[in-house]
């Protein structure tokens, strides 16, 4: 029998993950999505043909995996309501930013199988990057189920040390925003140099997408690919020198460190 997935929260991420399951061949009749928002329920049902409900407890009845996809500040209340009614063999998989396995164990009760994951928004088009970590109660079958869910919308990597989840959040969780910023800046600079705005955007987008795909397809390191574009004394070298003079490496490291530290701060503020 195919596993039964229940999603609590069918917003951006819940919908993306439910869609990934359907796209990877999972039967929509084995996916339930519970959401307080009628608009979200309608969207999930229309796009993926999955079962939808406004009743979290009913959605979880008999589920093999309960995916917790509400906002972090809504999660405690959701978990406390589910804990007495969800059976002991169900895997809980949380994608809430900054909510630790210890929080989830406190809210769901001892002995629960729990996976914490950090996906990112490109999961919406099947190009996500996610890290996962599990508590000691997760079985091999549940490990595989959790991984297959995240892998259905992109790259999925396990972490042995949960503390690294803050670094993952800083790199790939928040990362799409950095790439969008780079796109904006490339477009703006192109326009400043006289290109029409529409052309500047088109070239910037195609360059970022093409470079990422080339790096992904190539066996060469990104540094090698960079050197291949950089002729001595040429135009690219001038631009890269300008980035170096501004300490771009230091800027990026400081930005990710700030994001990592903020993640730690926010997690420390969540009450048990």
Binding residues for ligand NAP (CB under 6 A): 8-14, 34-37, 40, 56, 69-72, 74, 78, 95-97, 118-121, 173
- The closest of 123, 117, 121, 120 to 153, measured between CA atoms, is 123
Residue 160 C-beta: closest distance to ligand NAP, Å: 20
Q: Which helix (H) or strand (E) holds 150?
A: helix 140-151
Residue 22 C-beta: closest distance to ligand NAP, Å: 17
Residue 106 C-beta: closest distance to ligand NAP, Å: 17
For ligand NAP, which is the closer residue by CB, 221 or 265?
265
For ligand NAP, which is the closer residue by CB, 12 or 236?
12
Residue 91 C-beta: closest distance to ligand NAP, Å: 17
Record the tokens describing residue 170, joined without a space. 């800083």
- The closest of 129, 123, 167 to 21, measured between CA atoms, is 123
Question: In this structure, are residues 7 and 28 in contact, taking their beta carbons and an 8 Å threshold?
Answer: no
* Burial of 138 (C-beta count, 10 Å sphere; 0-12/13-18/19+): buried
CA separation for the pair 96, 62 (Å, rounded): 23
Residue 253 C-beta: closest distance to ligand NAP, Å: 22
Record the tokens describing residue 53, joined without a space. 């409900």
The residue nearest ligand NAP at its CB is 11
Residue 5 C-beta: closest distance to ligand NAP, Å: 15
CA angle 66, 5, 89 (to 5 degrees): 55
For ligand NAP, which is the closer residue by CB, 50 or 69?
69
For ligand NAP, which is the closer residue by CB, 4 or 130?
130
For ligand NAP, which is the closer residue by CB, 96 or 153?
96
How far apart, in Å, are the Cα atoms of 150 and each of 15, 70, 77, 129, 133? 13, 17, 25, 8, 12
For ligand NAP, which is the closer residue by CB, 73 or 228?
73
């Amino acid at each position: 029998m195919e596993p039964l997935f229940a999603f609590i929260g069918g917003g951006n991420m819940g919908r993306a993950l439910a869609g990934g399951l359907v796209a990877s061949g999972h039967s929509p009749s084995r996916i339930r999505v519970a959401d307080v928002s009628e608009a979200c329920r309608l969207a999930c049902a229309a796009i993926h043909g999955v079962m939808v409900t406004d009743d979290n407890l009913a959605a979880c009845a008999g589920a093999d995996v309960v995916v917790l996809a509400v906002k972090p500040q809504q999660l405690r209340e959701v978990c406390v309501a589910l804990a007495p009614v969800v059976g002991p063999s169900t895997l809980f998989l949380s994608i809430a930013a900054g909510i630790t396995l210890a929080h989830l164990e406190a809210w769901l009760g001892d002995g629960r199988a729990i996976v914490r994951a950090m996906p990112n928004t490109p999961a919406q088009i099947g190009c996500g990057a996610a890290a996962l970590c599990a508590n000691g109660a997760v079985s091999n079958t549940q490990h595989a189920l959790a991984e297959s869910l995240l892998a259905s919308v992109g790259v999925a990597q396990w972490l042995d040390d949960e503390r690294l989840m803050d670094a993952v959040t800083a790199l790939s969780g928040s990362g799409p925003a950095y790439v969008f910023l780079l796109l904006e800046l490339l477009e703006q600079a192109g326009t400043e140099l006289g290109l029409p705005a529409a052309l500047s955007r088109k070239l910037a987008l195609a360059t970022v997408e093409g470079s990422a795909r080339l790096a992904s397809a190539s066996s060469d390191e990104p540094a090698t690919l960079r050197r291949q574009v950089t002729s001595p004394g040429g135009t690219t070298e001038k631009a890269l020198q300008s980035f170096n003079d501004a300490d771009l490496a230091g800027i990026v490291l400081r930005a990710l460190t700030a994001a990592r530290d903020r993640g730690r701060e926010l997690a420390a503020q969540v009450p048990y």
